[in-house]
Amino acid sequence: MSNEKTILIVDDDTELIDFLALKLNKENFKIYRATDGESGFSKLQEIRPSLILLDINMPKMNGLELCKKIKLNETLKHTPIIMLTAKGETIDRILGLEFGADDYITKPFNYRELILRIKNVLKRGDGTSRERKKYEWPDLTVDIENHEVTVNGEAVRLTSTEFKLLSNLMEKPGQVKSRDYLLERIWGYNEKIFSRTVDTHIQRLRTKLKTAGNHIETVRGVGYRFEEKVYP
């Protein structure tokens, strides 16, 4: 099997797709395209790409609806998504992250920045804490190899970014991870303007983990840590 990475671009701006396809081909990515949400979902099921570049404002099914539909699909939910948002669409960016997008970039964007974001997101998906296969607490189990999380024996559905964030916190219990550190390790860049991204994901992660979410402690003014294991 080829190691070639494939990208599905879903955007109703055909000129932008042509431009991105030309540039990304030079980076050894194979490009597929769709111009609306419905055809994008059909194409996604057909080709199973390495990553999706997803515009928000599209006909038939917008990007937020498509993102949510993908993340609710058991087969497709781990596909990384980078949202393409228009300048000033702060609410849409936040919703995209809450629906499970792995990252976003604002139009008009710098092409080199987009390439960096794509490579960082794909790098995240290559594996998490490979030196350990499983983290276990009395009420929480994280199975790295199978990408599974259970709380009190019940399966919990996390996005790939939420899973990466939880695993990173759990690999060294008691160690404080700053927001800047988490931005760099999980999202691949370090800009204070994006610090809200960490807080948003932590909040959603705690909610999904229910009572086990209490293991994630806030260190005021610094960041977060996973409580030290004090159980016998």
Model pLDDT for residues 113-169, shown as the tens digit of each residue: 888 888 878 876 554 434 457 888 889 999 887 788 999 999 998 888 888 899 989
Q: Which residue has the tokens 């979902």?
A: 41
Reduced to 3 states (helix: H, G, I; strand: E, B; else coil), residue 51 is strand
Higher per-residue pLDDT: 87 or 165: 165
List the strands of the sheet with 177-178, edge to edge: 177-178, 223-226, 216-219
Spatial CB neighbours of 47, under 8 Å, sequence gap ≥ 6: 6, 8, 32
**pLDDT score for 221:** 82
Mean predicted confidence (pLDDT) in 17-41: 92
CATH class of the 134-226 domain in this structure: mainly alpha
**pLDDT score for 151:** 94
**pLDDT score for 191:** 52
Task: Output the CA angle 77-200-229, nearest 5 degrees.
Answer: 85
CATH class of the 5-124 domain in this structure: alpha beta
Confidence category of residue 193, pLDDT binned at 50, 70, 90? very low
Mean predicted confidence (pLDDT) in 93-115: 79
pLDDT(194) > 80: no
Higher per-residue pLDDT: 86 or 205: 205
**pLDDT score for 215:** 93
Q: Which residue has the tokens 């988490």?
A: 182
Report the share of the chain in percent with pLDDT over 70. Answer: 86
- CATH 3.40.50.2300 residue ranges of the chain are 5-124
Residue 31 per-residue DSSP state: E
pTM here?
Answer: 0.61
Mean predicted confidence (pLDDT) in 103-119: 84
DSSP string, 102-159: SEEEEES--HHHHHHHHHHHHHHTT-S-TT-SEEE-SSEEEETTTTEEEETTEEE---
**pLDDT score for 180:** 80
Confidence category of residue 17, pLDDT binned at 50, 70, 90? very high
Average pLDDT of the residues of the chain: 83
User: How far are the Cα atoms of 10, 144, 177 from residue 17, in angstroms, in the given order?
Assistant: 8, 35, 38
Return the minimum-mean-pLDDT range out of 30-39, 89-98, 99-108, 214-223: 89-98
Mean predicted confidence (pLDDT) in 83-94: 70
- CATH 1.10.10.10 residue ranges of the chain are 134-226
pLDDT(230) > 60: no
pLDDT(192) > 60: no
**Identity of the amino acid at 43:** K
